[in-house]
Amino acid sequence: MKNEILLCQYFIERKKRTCGMMRKKNMKYCVEHSKLDPQEAKENLKKRIPCPLDPNHTIYEYQLNKHVKKCNKNKLIHSNDNQCYYLQDLNLGNKENRFNKKDISLEREHELIIATIPILKAYLDQNLHPNCNGVWKLDKRENQFMIDNRYVQLENEKTRKHAIQQSSLIQNMLDRGILQSENLLSFGLIEFGCGRAEFTRYIHDSLVNNKPPSGKQHCILIDRAPNRNKFDSKLIHMQKDRLRIDIKDLKVNPLLHDNLPYTSVSKHLCGVATDLTLRCLLVNNNSVNPNGICIAMCCRHICNPDDYINPDFIIEKVLSLQKDEQRKLSYNELFFALTKIVSWATSGKRNNEDETTHFTDLGYEEREEIGLIARGIIDYGRFLFVKSILDNTHNVELIRYVEKSVSLENTALLVSKK
């Protein structure tokens, strides 16, 4: 047929379907997958290489210089150039000689984890801080607006899990005065890693509750990825600024309105983004007087030693506990091991798992306990950092805002004015 569309026949195992890209008439695969077929690779005379800006796609080598100028990734990198809120790498920690976990082999990774386990057990034995096993006080609360409006839209407990988490975080903030709810006074809201801005939407609805606000409201929505089906249009009473920017490059001061109290929030702010956010708010913000902070943390496995907000705590309180003089770990090595161990607290038990085959020779329950200790150390270091800066003016807390059955990632950092 004249208009027949020829599709790539490569089967993508992860997605359980064939590739949807087009192919040439005399080829079996598209240009991305043709290199996987030896015969077609010979026929494809032009060598393809990963794009240096985004290795998720490939390009013809001879078109490299031309491609990098028009690559969408290049446009994104420079999309905020000359903006008052953009300063490249502003919120990074160590900017030089950065640690690269790819340099560590799997064998070395296992060695570091095994060397770290006795340190974590010693940390737990010495009870260096309350809840040093990472299981903070459960403080689950329910917001009446969410119960009356959001819960009824969802069919069962399984689909309500996000709403239950949002409800607890919102009510915890309201009860601590983190949100200006009384008389709907003027306030500002910054959501880091906002995605579709669902969390901000329900904060807004819980405060307004079908009543017009009596004061000025402003929200700043920050995410580095484009998002479909955004809730921005639902924020009918708020002035909105949505920025597509990496938190590491964000200078927040120029975005703030004078004399407006700002609360910074995030639900499940992944890994290192929490450290970048705290540095953005409390180190590189000239007016360190937040109305409040609520960060529900997750994904400590993608934290890194260079950007962690409180390396002194790890060095002085954790690294100092190692006793093996022959296998002394560096800060980078210990932190890397922590980021591997934290996943034991949330990975769950696999069906028919043979516990005797794990390289640590530890059973599932013991690995889970050690994973919680590692997670608690990372979170407690963040808590101490915030407390060292805001202790005179703010209350700083770590809580579990929902039960483990709702979410394994259930720890939140709350900062409220005294």
* pLDDT: which is higher, 60 or 414: 414
Q: 222 forms bridges with which residues in the sheet?
A: 192, 243
- For range 10-15, the mean pLDDT: 86
Tell me whether residue 126 is in a domain.
yes
Rounded to whole angstroms, what are the CA distances from 247 to 5, 69, 278?
A: 42, 24, 10
In a domain, 171, yes or no: yes
Instruction: Answer yes or no: is pLDDT of 1 > 70.
Output: no
Supply 210's token pair.
Answer: 């079908």
**Same-domain status, 111 and 71:** no
Domain identity same for 48 and 110:
no
Give CA–CA dist 284/277, Å, rounded.
10
Q: What residues contact 338, with CB distance under 8 A and at least 6 apart?
A: 116, 300, 303, 314, 374, 377, 378
Q: Region 260-265: what's the mean pLDDT?
A: 91
What percentage of the chain exceeds 70 in pLDDT?
Answer: 91
Structural domain for 314, as ranges: 101-417
Provide the pLDDT for residue 413.
Answer: 97
From the list 369, 401, 158, 198, the residue with the least C-alpha distance to 295 is 401
Asked if residue 300 is part of any domain, the answer here is: yes
pTM to 2 decimal places: 0.84
Assess whether 259 and 305 both reside in one domain: yes
In this prediction, residue 203 has a pLDDT band, given cuts at 50, 70 and 90, of: very high
- Classify residue 294: in a domain, yes or no: yes
Residue 407 lies in a domain: yes
Residues 108, 31: one domain? no
- Top pLDDT among 317 and 75 is at 317
Check residue 350 and give its pLDDT: 59
Predicted pLDDT of residue 167:
96
Q: What is the pLDDT of residue 273?
A: 97
Q: Do 73 and 106 belong to one domain?
A: no
223 bridge partner residues? 244
Give the model's pLDDT for residue 315: 96
- Per-residue model confidence as pLDDT tens digits over 65-111: 889 889 988 888 888 988 999 999 999 999 989 999 989 999 999 99
70 and 156 co-located in one domain: no
**Separation in Å, CA 78 to CA 86, 187, 193, 200, 344:** 10, 31, 20, 27, 38
47 and 160 housed in the same domain:
no
Residue 272 CA to chain centroid, in angstroms?
6
Q: Evaluate if residue 352 carries a pLDDT over 90.
A: no
Q: Are residues 249 and 175 in the same domain?
A: yes
Of the candidate ranges 22-26, 167-171, 348-352, 407-411, the one whose mean pLDDT is the lowest:
348-352
| In-domain check, residue 2 | no
Residue 208 predicted with pLDDT over 70: yes
Domain assignment present for 89: no
How many domains is the chain built from?
2
Indicate if 61 and 203 belong to the same structural domain: no
Same domain, 170 and 48: no
Query: 33 and 145 in one domain?
Result: no
Radius of gyration of the chain (CA): 24
Q: Which of 45, 77, 109 is the last residue of a domain?
A: 77
Give yes or no for a contact between 276 and 248, defined as CB atoms under 8 angstroms apart.
Answer: yes
85 found inside a domain:
no
> Which DSSP category does 240 fall into?
E
Torsion of CA 409, 178, 170, 131, to 10 degrees: 30
Q: Above 80 in pLDDT, residue 50?
A: yes
110 and 67 housed in the same domain:
no
pLDDT at 129: 77
